[in-house]
Amino acid sequence: MKDGFLCRKCGNCCKVPGYVRVSESETDKIAEYLKMNSREFNEKYTFLTSDRRSLSLREKDNGSCIFLSDTTGECVINPVKPEQCASFPFKWNFEGWEAICQAAAD
C-alpha cells in the first residue's frame, strides 16, 4: 500500500497515541507559524520524552495530536508540521496503520 500512497487527510494517523518527536528547528518553525516565541511554544505544546532524548508534541486527553482540529479533523500546523508527520508512512509508521488509514492507491 505504501508505494501508491495518497493521503486523504483523514486524520486517523493523528489520533493514535505516541510520541511525535520534534527538533529545535521544527519547534522554532511551528512557534513562528503560531506567532509565539519558542520558549512559550515549548512550555505549552511539548514535553521531554521518557528516554530524555527529545521533545514530543503533547497529546489531547484522548491521545490524539494537540494540533488535530476537533472541528475540521485537519492538522492546524500542516504547512510546518514535523518531519515525522510529513514522512508518514514512508520513513515512520506504526503497527496496524494500514487498517486505520484511508489513503488511496494511485
Q: Which domain holds residue 79?
A: 5-105
**Is the bond preceding 79 in cis, omega lying within 30 degrees of 0?**
no
What is the residue type of 103? A
Q: Strands, DSSP E only, in 1-106? A: 5-6, 21-22, 46-48, 55-57, 104-105
Q: Which tens digits make up the pLDDT trace of 67-103?
A: 999 999 999 999 999 998 888 777 776 777 776 676 6
Number of domains in the chain: 1
Q: What would the pLDDT profile of 40-57 be if each residue is shown by its tens digit?
A: 999 999 999 999 999 999
pTM: 0.82
For residue 15, how many other CB atoms are within 10 A of its CB? 16
